[in-house]
Amino acid sequence: MPNIQKLRSMLMSNNIYGYIIPSTDEFQNEYPPKYLRRLEAVTGFTGSFGIAIITLDAVFFYTDGRYLLQAKQQLSSEFNILDIAEEGNCAFLGHNTANKFIGYDPNIHTFNEIQYWKSLGQKYGFSMIAIENNLVDNIGISYTKTDQVQCFEALWLNAENQELIFKKKLDHCFKGLDGNVTHLLLTSPASIGWLLDVRGRQTPYDMFILAYAIISKSGSITLFYDGSIEAPSFIEVAPIQSIIRYIMHFIAEGATIQCDPANASEKLASYCQVYGPDPCVMLRACKTEDERNGMINACYVDSKILTKFLNQLKLEYRMHTEISASEKLFAMRSEESSFVANSFDYISAFGPNAAIIHYKPIEETNLSLAMGGLYLIDSGGHYKFGTTDITRTILLGNNASYPQKLHYTLVLKGHIALATIVFPIGTCGVHIDAFARQYLWQHGLDYRHGTGHGVGYMLSVHEGPQSISRSLSNKTQLMQGMIVSNEPGYYKENEYGIRLENLMMVVPSKHKAFLCFKLLTYVPFDHDLILPELLTKAEQIWLDDYHANCLSN
């Protein structure tokens, strides 16, 4: 691994023992633009979540259940690959780190992350050292910045009454804050997109612009953005590198600035006086009436395309590989005039490849679709009025095996159980996650990923704070107008993978103070993979009803 060798010589010249390289970037992007994908540049790992810790003696690589298999395939044998759910970030600490120095880039790690690492350091005796210049950039093994701003022209969604809408949102933002706070530093591109109703495309799959912003209670706003942008006159635009100068200037004039330590880089956070959650996060999670209608519409359009694609694929699968099927779906979406972009990397996986939870086909792994196998396609799009995310698994040919049918049916039963639940206001995702797992559990089976994530409105397809998972740390209540995915799965290593995903919206139920889910996605499930004798009468009725709604679309 020449990259690791280059990095190690940097470690030595910086007098440090180890260095941390996360998959994320200055904007906490899940899908950074190419020039900010430093982890991929160093290691070749293409998944959306990973952390490498390069030390003079070893290389540790943390990822989660979705990417463990992929990491084993993409990384050389030198890497110790660890499941972050099991190991935390601690395993490497056993390797003699007492009194050692561990370096990091304070511009890409959040304040809270570094606090966590520092607390580990206190426990195990190592010290965290901020190194201003990113070592990966420094040794020239990052991608270059040449294709940096592939930004389409920024799109202002409500050009007519832009300032009025902004002022309203601004009031909501400051409402719950400490009275002393005069300015908010926003470091989340999604929050800035929501607050200013601006959209752009600088990363492969998100619809936001890569910017920071400082807004004041009185309504002034400075947008920190590199590149040309035609902003409305009430927005001042400044280059990103000037942000610290601005912060210091505001403070000198008496400002009290709040930032979110879970999102702001340690560097930026260190200049702010108050730490608190980004108020835009909850506000943008509960969609407005217009946004809800847009999401319903986007899922409707997307469901029609998916249904057509799957029907055709059932007939023509012999002509396809994973990659060509994926390209065909993209082409079909692209024919739709309201389609803007993919909302994430398509997972197009046949047979054993689908057991890699977040598999992405590349030439070396690309399988031809063949009879008797299961094909899994997890994809989504940004449309001019909303964002989609859907997964279906289908049988190619006929004669599914009994285990294939059993596992598909267990996943489907869990999917239905979650889709039909009614729950009181105050319920969090963790309270209902197990409903999707219960039937797998009865067979001693499970899946190593969450059951549902939030979805942004033409921003990011994965957008919190809500989720449906086993994590006890996410205390976000499910609230009216939130969008969540419902995507239980089952993965049989070296054989097949199954995942069934619809988007749902949290809506009031017919009972006061109780909520339920409204389905947004309408694409048939594969009858060839369902064991009807395992369905209860209520499940059968739900399924018939669902399919009737698919047909009427």
The residues that touch a second copy, with contacts defined as CB under 8 A, are 421-424, 426-428, 430-435, 438, 441-444, 446, 470, 472, 475, 509-514, 536
Closer CB to a second copy, 172 or 511, in the complex: 511
C-beta of 289 vs 533, nearer to a second copy: 533
Q: Residue 211 pairs with which residues in a beta bridge?
A: 225
Enumerate the H helices of 67-205 as residue ranges: 68-74, 84-87, 111-124, 135-138, 162-175, 189-196
Rank residues 365 and 474 by Cβ distance to a second copy and give the closer one: 474
Please calculate the CA angle 30-61-1 and round it to the nearest 5 degrees.
110
Half-sphere exposure in the Cβ direction for 252 (13 Å, CA)? 6
3-state secondary structure of 396: coil
| Residue 289 CB, nearest approach to a second copy (Å) | 25
Q: How far is the CB of 508 from a second copy (least distance, A)?
A: 11
Q: Which is nearer to a second copy, 470 or 492 (CB)?
A: 470
Nearer to a second copy, 318 or 511 (CB): 511
Minimum CB–partner distance for residue 514 and a second copy (Å): 5
Q: Which residues contact 45 (CB under 8 A, 6 or more apart)?
A: 23, 39, 52, 61, 63, 67, 70, 71, 74, 75
Which of residues 385 and 447 has its CB atom nearest to a second copy in the complex?
447
* Amino acid in position 161: N
Cβ(528)–Cβ(371) under 8 Å?
no
Omega into 352 within 30° of 0, i.e. cis? no
Question: Which residue lies nearer to a second copy by CB, 371 or 422?
Answer: 422
Listed residue (415, 377, 416) closest to 396, CA to CA? 377
Rounded distance between C-alpha atoms, residue 267 and residue 260, angstroms: 12
What CA–CA distance (Å, rounded) separates 70 from 331? 27
Q: How far is the CB of 427 from a second copy (least distance, A)?
A: 8
CB of 462 to a second copy, least distance (A): 22
Question: Which secondary-structure segment (H or E) carries 350?
Answer: strand 347-350
Helix axes 402-419, 429-441, angle to 10 degrees: 160
In the bound state with a second copy, the residue whose beta carbon lies nearer, of 107 and 471, is 471
Minimum distance from CB of 518 to a second copy (Å)? 16
Compute the least distance from the CB of residue 481 to a second copy, in Å: 20
Q: At its nearest, how many Å lie between a second copy and the CB of residue 174? A: 20
Contacts of 251 (CB under 8 A, 6+ apart): 257, 271, 273
